[in-house]
Structure 1
Amino acid sequence: MKRNLWQQLLSIPFTLLVFNSAIAMNNPPRNPEKIEECDILVIGGGLAGAGAAYEGLLMGKTVCLTEITDWVGGQISSQGTSALDERNTQRQELFFPQGYLEFRDRIGDFYGKLNLGECWVSASCFLPKDAHTILYQQLIDAARKGNGTLKWFPNTVIKDVQVEAVANGGTGEQIVSAIALSHQPQPNTPPLNSEPLSKIIEDAYSYEDSSRLKKTVIKFVPPQNDKSEVKAPWMVIEATETGEIIGLTDIPYRLGIDPLSPYEPSSSSRTTDPYCTQGFTYTFAMEKTATPQPQPEPEFYQQYAPYYSYELERLADFDLVFTYRRIYKAQPSERVTFGGIGFTKPTPGDISMQNWTWGNDYRPGTSVDNLIYTREQLQATGQLQPHGWMGGLRTETLFKGEQNAIGFYHWLVAGTTDSQLGEGVKQPHPDHIFLQGFDSPMGTAHGLSKYPYIREGRRIIGRPNYAHPDGFTVNEVDISRINYDDDYYKETLTPQEYRQLRAIIAGLEGFAVISGEISPEQAPKRSRSTIYADSVGIGHYAIDFHPCMSESPHEKPGNTEREGERRGQGQAYPFQIPLSAMIPQKIDNMIVAGKSIATSHIAAAAYRVHSFEWSSGAAAGTTAAMALDKNILPYEFTEGFAFRNSHLQALKQVLERNGNPTAFPNTSIFNQDWDDWR
């Protein structure tokens, strides 16, 4: 039987496909063929990057926006997770940033409805390919409205950045230029998106042309005008999915598990573990058909089959899983329930996007298979040497994630095993097809998303201040609703650590706990998140874990999730995005947006969804534009006592005036009643 395209692509031995990075890193760089000037360079075209570009354009700036794929939007488009993760209370109040609300409105206008697929995970599920079209037009309209200029650079990666000390009264260095590589297919070769990411990523980061890709070397620079009195001639916003520029510039950051402490009391380890990050997912789309279809088994299926599962009995229903993130509903159908969850039955023509923990999630967690290279691994592979940057990811793990995703489709339609629930639970459902092609929802010939959905990357350590002498970080205790009265915390933490934990969450009574005036058991528990005087955005989502696996490889029969990783999982209070979490150490003209802001491993599990990404991006774009207008550096917005910092107060006023909330309603240190925000 003739194999499908994805079977051909993903069964070729990995070692025959990857580009020779050792050779690439030794090649001398080419001279730039293009020079591009911009006020704001946004690196990464996901929702954080789009939010930053949107606000920068509305404020009249020239924005250069780079993206490794050819779609803007990240989660909603190139990563295929086109089901908006939102909390019901925030959705009911429509308490989101203006640009995010505009996107939601445009989705509704485009389809005539907000939930095209009648999915049950969200109020809005839609096609990834349409999300790119809608969002790109929104950015074009923002440029027109604000008299800004958008310079869009798809299929473009940053290869080198030039960082120099600048005598401008700042505290450190600045990015003065960046070298990017833009790629296109060579003549008489297939279009881009014919191969999965693992097959071209190393080629994309090489200066030299290959038989597959032709590169254009672009140098990004600030506007070439009089800069003698300017503290920073431009701003750079790091909005990549994995914290690429953080790794490339080697500024202080964390990766993976943080050690157990009163601030991270649910940590699964007494020591750091940079290899255990949350799982990543290659999404795909599948369509229900009227009749059973041939379902050839991929050559690699048996390797991954021991992993797949419905996970929980209350979720062990194929139609439930199919409609969970259904992104297109072809025709009306009756409403049914399973496990107390209601949904409309699938009908032929319905399209589902798959993003399932014990399915197409790939969850490596050791030093031999982790996806995002640590600083030590970057050094060992030569990526911190001049011209050596290759994206900072383990290509073989991307490849295995692709195979794992394809295998999950086969399990859904033909599998009869279940790793968590045992025999007799999973039944075949062959009346489906795997959607492939450039006109398919994912826009790829192979059918997988153009880029994996990344839940966790490198996270900066913010600048030290009086409350955070080791560098600013948002921690678990700043947002979690967990009741720390559990015996586990009393037994795992030392008495001193437990007293400190109870003091932290006691709010205004914290000093009484520390002084011994009241015991830890008597201390009240704060019933809201930490309030930040320098808040520039908002978010609300549960602390939601897709933990790494205990052993390598991820798909090893009998493998389990890392013990204790889900202990911190649970509801979170509505939270704020402090500007201090977006200002990195050392580099004065860079702002960080998206999943790489200064959060702990556990807090990052909540600070990662769609509306948060946009809110952080909107804050970054506004901060960058105002810093240029005021001729100050971003860290100056966070200096001194917040209420006396006129720059910060002006920034917050602009954000609020432009429809970008910095706090939830009735946010106050005296308001302890946040129970309605679930």
Structure 2
Amino acid sequence: MKKNDIRRFIRLNTFSRLTLPIILLSQSILPATALNKNHIKPDETVNCEILIVGGGLAGVASAYESLLAGRTVCLTEITDWVGGQITSQGTSALDEGEKQRSLNYFPRGYQILRSGIERLYGQLNPGNCWVSHSCFIPKDAQQILFQELQWAARQGNGQLKWFPSTVVKELEISADGDQINGVMAIQHTPKPGQPPINSFPLSKIYQDAYRYEDSPQLSKKVIHFVPKTPLRKGPADWYVIEATETGEVIALADVPYRLGLDPRSALNPSSPTDTSNPYCTQGFTYTFAMEQTKTPVFQEEPPFYAKYKAYYGYDPNPSKANFDYVFTYRRIWNPTPGKLMQFGGVKFTEPMPGDISMQNWEWGNDYRPGTSLDNLIYSRQQLQETGQLKSGNWMGGLRQETLRKGEEHALGYYYWLVEGTTDSQLGDGVKKPYPNHILLKGLDSPMGTLHGLSKYPYIREARRIIGRFSGDYPDGFAINELDISAKDYFNIHYRDAIPMSMYYDVWRQVTRLEIFTKGVQPISQMQYTRRTSATPFADGVGITQYSMDFHPCMANSPPEAPGNREREDVRWGYAPTYPAQIPLRAMIPQKIDNLLVAGKTIATSHIAAAAFRVQSFEWAVGAAAGTTADFALKKGIFPYQLVEDNSEHSSDLLELRQKLENNGNPTHFPEYELGRK
């Protein structure tokens, strides 16, 4: 890794837990112009070489590499924090694959983040949590990340134009439909005399944020993003990078994508359905932080608690039915370590007054809708039915009512933790009250909100593009279950649950041998060598490793209904994975040539996406997107030309991969580690 980059960054930046200034870098303002279709006059026209929509970890990584390359970068974010998962979504515990962590094999910017956490606290795990090697305060991570971006701008002589509290509203597509020529966005701020941003949960302002007009609460600024001109070196004047949490630009551009469950196939044999289901996505979570106190605190029962309490429980496994076990699981602050304890085979230190825990618990604040009546992310059909795909009608593509119920559900879970005596999984007599706690609220609280919930829900699954067609991928490219899974497919479930012809096809994929031929009785699969590594990709531009882990949707609506259950067999996809590559073709959508996709919206199946959603993955794919956009601008080519069949740009692809490697962004694991789980 580029250790000199890490040392240089740390030397030039000193971190304080109290405050770090956030500076809005200068904006290039051009005369206002009218948008042809709707005659909306922007308040500002801002030019960029690279526009990144979404300030989560993938967006930050894209910006970081683009700034180091000297680019003018515009970065928008619906909240007022960069960092996504580990900041505005509150899941400030780094989920890392054991093999990748043991090798310390991460992108350079992610390494700097980890070093920044360690320098700030004097240790990598100030929460002394046991789910991860690093749990920390979300608002501190936001400060570290923003300084990392500022440092990259100085170091690379780039320019960062940061647009917090900003949403994308419209795309201007070229006449031939191949490029995004401009983007209209809306930035909101509180009107004078109104409460500050983050006073209310997201659902209270969500639809308001997507309206051009001012409201009683919010003032709006309409911003027109356009290419920085004149470039004229190649076919594209700029690049747009989709890094939103749910794939907003994908939906707006109306490029082909998938959502929810995929049909069972030889490439995804663990799918629980023979047909697609866009409504059953993984659960989302509003996280919160709670602090242990020396004495009991009065806990006021929320008026909606009775509606949700039938859902809450420790876990179906009794070995997880322990408050201290749950509290320390994602403890993010532990100033005074207590005595060593053990429960369910896990060792942790006893919670002490002053300890802060971030809650992200499956049978707690996970909200898991799975039907067309309550799904969070609207399908394409639902977007059409609600008119959101018509010009100027985009409203974010999420169901506001489900956001609201997810917020109530999370606040109800806090009350259950401290006062509840029921348990949906293990029955009565297991759960006891623990009133010595407070929900941390306030603009200076770990979540940075007056209500105590995260600014945005933690999103585990989003719209996923379908990559371009090729000879090897006639249905469009995607990373599938069999590309990364280390599962034993001799399991009796597969022999009994899927058609025999499909089972044989699974083994063709697993062994990579054509062992079955038409009209010939297949011999025992046991005679063939099983696959021992992930699928290698010649266009690998990043690395990742994490188990395919699921938080399934609930079978019925509403998800909190008494007696409701998870969608059956979704968890069959769970498996450890081999160290894997992120192929460039997974980031290239159909139709639009100057759009790159980063984050959890790349081309994967539902099952593979369960492994392609953690923090180090997001950084790796974001770094690849930023580097590729810069490379394409310099070379005067489109990214798809690097991966198309019989490409004349194969040498350019090698050059891009070498550039990533030279910059400390690995494109593959060491060869001797590829077959290790």
TM-score (norm 1): 0.92
**C-alpha distance 353-180 of structure 1, shift in aligned 2 (>3 A):** same
Matched, 1:625 2:630: yes
**CA deviation vs aligned residue, 1:305-328 (integer Å, no higher than 9, x gap):** 000011121111101100110000
Q: Could you say which residue in structure 1 is the equivalent of 2:663?
A: 658
Q: Give the aligned residue type for 1:217.
A: V
Q: Could you say which residue in structure 2 is the equivalent of 1:236?
A: 240
Q: Could you say which residue in structure 2 is the equivalent of 1:22?
A: none
SS at match of 1:511: coil
Q: Could you say which residue in structure 2 is the equivalent of 1:528?
A: 533
Matched, 1:396 2:395: no
Q: Give the aligned residue type for 1:260.
A: R
Alignment equivalent of 2:187, drawn from 174, 177, 182: 182
SS at match of 1:469: coil
The 1-side partners of 2:571 and 2:186 are apart by 40
Q: Could you say which residue in structure 1 is the equivalent of 2:514?
A: 511
The within-5 A match list for 1:14-25 is: none
**C-alpha distance 304-290 of structure 1, shift in aligned 2 (>3 A):** same
**C-alpha distance 153-406 of structure 1, shift in aligned 2 (>3 A):** same
The 2-side partners of 1:282 and 1:613 are apart by 20
SS at match of 2:361: coil
**C-alpha distance 644-237 of structure 1, shift in aligned 2 (>3 A):** closer
Q: Give the aligned residue type for 2:600.
A: K
**C-alpha distance 548-240 of structure 1, shift in aligned 2 (>3 A):** same
The 2-side partners of 1:581 and 1:461 are apart by 8
Matched, 1:444 2:449: yes
Alignment equivalent of 1:463, drawn from 448, 455, 468: 468
**CA deviation vs aligned residue, 1:270-305 (integer Å, no higher than 9, x gap):** 000000000000000000000010011101001000
Q: Could you say which residue in structure 1 is the equivalent of 2:115?
A: 105
Matched, 1:163 2:173: yes
Q: Could you say which residue in structure 2 is the equivalent of 1:454?
A: 459
**CA deviation vs aligned residue, 1:359-408 (integer Å, no higher than 9, x gap):** 00000000000000000100111100110000000000000000000000
Matched, 1:43 2:53: yes
The 2-side partners of 1:314 and 1:111 are apart by 32
Of 83-92 and 283-292, more deviation after overlay is shown by 83-92
Matched, 1:261 2:268: no
Q: Is the 8 A contact 1:639 1:645 kept in 2?
A: no
Q: Is the 8 A contact 1:266 1:567 kept in 2?
A: yes
Q: Is the 8 A contact 1:643 1:649 kept in 2?
A: no
**CA deviation vs aligned residue, 1:404-458 (integer Å, no higher than 9, x gap):** 0000000000000110111111110000000000010000000000000000000
**C-alpha distance 59-540 of structure 1, shift in aligned 2 (>3 A):** same
Q: Could you say which residue in structure 2 is the equivalent of 1:616?
A: 621
Alignment equivalent of 2:284, drawn from 262, 280, 296: 280
Structure 1 residue 88: Cα displacement: 2.3
**C-alpha distance 257-297 of structure 1, shift in aligned 2 (>3 A):** same
Structure 1 residue 514: Cα displacement: 4.8
Q: Could you say which residue in structure 2 is the equivalent of 1:569?
A: 574
Q: Is the 8 A contact 2:471 2:645 kept in 1?
A: no
Q: Is the 8 A contact 1:29 1:207 kept in 2?
A: no
Alignment equivalent of 2:382, drawn from 377, 380, 384: 377
The 2-side partners of 1:314 and 1:524 are apart by 37
Q: Is the 8 A contact 1:247 1:375 kept in 2?
A: yes
The 2-side partners of 1:539 and 1:321 are apart by 27
Alignment equivalent of 1:118, drawn from 128, 131, 142: 128
Structure 1 residue 525: Cα displacement: 1.9
The 1-side partners of 2:318 and 2:577 are apart by 25
The 2-side partners of 1:644 and 1:458 are apart by 30
SS at match of 1:161: strand
Q: Could you say which residue in structure 2 is the equivalent of 1:583?
A: 588
Q: Could you say which residue in structure 2 is the equivalent of 1:12?
A: none
TM-score (norm 2): 0.93
Q: Could you say which residue in structure 2 is the equivalent of 1:483?
A: 488
Q: Could you say which residue in structure 2 is the equivalent of 1:271?
A: 275
Q: Is the 8 A contact 2:190 2:219 kept in 1?
A: yes
The two structures, once aligned, show a CA RMSD in angstroms of 1.5
Q: Could you say which residue in structure 2 is the equivalent of 1:16?
A: none
Q: Is the 8 A contact 2:71 2:158 kept in 1?
A: yes
Q: Give the aligned residue type for 2:442.
A: G
Q: Could you say which residue in structure 1 is the equivalent of 2:21?
A: none
Unaligned runs of 5+ in 1: 1-26, 167-171
The 2-side partners of 1:165 and 1:574 are apart by 42
Question: Percent identity of the aligned residues?
Answer: 59
Q: Could you say which residue in structure 2 is the equivalent of 1:8?
A: none
**C-alpha distance 29-341 of structure 1, shift in aligned 2 (>3 A):** farther
The 2-side partners of 1:336 and 1:664 are apart by 37
Q: Is the 8 A contact 2:641 2:649 kept in 1?
A: no
The 1-side partners of 2:450 and 2:649 are apart by 56
Stretches of 4+ aligned residues off by more than 4 angstroms:
514-519, 641-644
SS at match of 2:671: coil
The 2-side partners of 1:226 and 1:297 are apart by 60
Structure 1 residue 481: Cα displacement: 1.3
**C-alpha distance 368-484 of structure 1, shift in aligned 2 (>3 A):** same
The 1-side partners of 2:517 and 2:288 are apart by 52
The 1-side partners of 2:342 and 2:39 are apart by 59
**CA deviation vs aligned residue, 1:88-129 (integer Å, no higher than 9, x gap):** 221121100000001100111111111111011111111001
**CA deviation vs aligned residue, 1:579-636 (integer Å, no higher than 9, x gap):** 1100000000000000000000000000000000000000000000000000001111
**CA deviation vs aligned residue, 1:325-362 (integer Å, no higher than 9, x gap):** 00001212111110110011110000000000000000
Q: Is the 8 A contact 1:29 1:387 kept in 2?
A: no
The 2-side partners of 1:566 and 1:285 are apart by 28
The 2-side partners of 1:438 and 1:29 are apart by 38
Unaligned runs of 5+ in 2: 1-36
Matched, 1:141 2:151: yes
SS at match of 1:42: strand
Q: Give the aligned residue type for 2:138.
A: P
Q: Could you say which residue in structure 1 is the equivalent of 2:4?
A: none
**C-alpha distance 226-589 of structure 1, shift in aligned 2 (>3 A):** closer
Structure 1 residue 574: Cα displacement: 1.2
Q: Could you say which residue in structure 1 is the equivalent of 2:251?
A: 247
Q: Could you say which residue in structure 2 is the equivalent of 1:89?
A: 99
**C-alpha distance 226-591 of structure 1, shift in aligned 2 (>3 A):** closer
SS at match of 1:541: coil
Q: Could you say which residue in structure 2 is the equivalent of 1:319?
A: 324
The 2-side partners of 1:165 and 1:506 are apart by 47
Structure 1 residue 165: Cα displacement: 3.9
SS at match of 1:428: coil
SS at match of 1:619: helix
Alignment equivalent of 2:310, drawn from 296, 306, 310: 306
SS at match of 1:82: coil
Q: Give the aligned residue type for 2:307.
A: Q
Matched, 1:63 2:76: no
SS at match of 2:571: coil
Q: Give the aligned residue type for 1:490.
A: R
The 2-side partners of 1:109 and 1:121 are apart by 21
Structure 1 residue 513: Cα displacement: 3.8
SS at match of 1:192: coil
Structure 1 residue 163: Cα displacement: 0.8
The total of aligned residue pairs comes to 638
The 2-side partners of 1:329 and 1:352 are apart by 9
Q: Give the aligned residue type for 2:333.
A: Y
The 2-side partners of 1:643 and 1:322 are apart by 56
